[in-house]
A and B are shown apart, each in its own frame.
Chain A
Amino acid sequence: DGGITQSPKYLFRKEGQNVTLSCEQNLNHDAMYWYRQDPGQGLRLIYYSQIVNDFQKGDIAEGYSVSREKKESFPLTVTSAQKNPTAFYLCASNFFGSGQPQHFGDGTRLSIL
């Protein structure tokens, strides 16, 4: 079955440490996205990518970095510059076009040790 796989499901970060969240899709989607979800809030866009080797900052990109070396993969690094990283992180993907829905992974929950 096609889908989006995020790993790990739970992740713990120590102070001053960078951590990388994995996102892989086998849906042949063009665009991929990273969102942050905090309790009681909607989704906030961190980064998005429409094509390999190209990505754009979203609304809350500070303290995060991404790469898009393959169409299937869009890993997110939470750097030590992100002072409040505790959140639920969701990866999504879709085909181009305004009517195209996004498909989501099951998320990674990041906590601070």
Chain B
Amino acid sequence: GDSVTQMEGPVTLSEEAFLTINCTYTATGYPSLFWYVQYPGEGLQLLLKATKADDKGSNKGFEATYRKETTSFHLEKGSVQVSDSAVYFCALSVYSGGYQKVTFGTGTKLQVIP
């Protein structure tokens, strides 16, 4: 079945450091890929998405490129801020048999220290 694998956290970085959170996937179909962010006590918010190979999703300084050849969708940011501290989820979506199936990774907690 479909699956998403994220690097385990927590990831602790100093403010202004470079961030990479790895995400790889396996899917039977041709998925769309997403990154969501969750702040404490809240639901998930869409951070960015990509729907086909070589697409780059970007938002608020975060970027991720859909790499079909390596089945990856790594999240990057050039300079993190304390306000970026949250849990980040990679997810894939496949529309098959008349319904949309979404598979989430286990999440990676990011802590940014001043």
Contact = CB atoms under 8 A, between A and B. Distances in A.
Given A42-B89, A43-B89, A102 B102 contact: yes
A98 B93 contact: yes
Interface in B56-114: 89, 93-95, 98-100, 102, 104-107
Contacts of B14: none
Contacts of B104: 42-43
A94 B89 contact: no
Interface residues of B, number: 26
Nearest to A102: B102
Contacts of A6: 43
Interface string A16-60: 000000000000000101000000111101001010000010000
User: Ordered nearest first, which 6 A-B pairs have the shortest CB separation?
Assistant: A104-B43, A98-B95, A99-B51, A42-B106, A42-B104, A101-B46
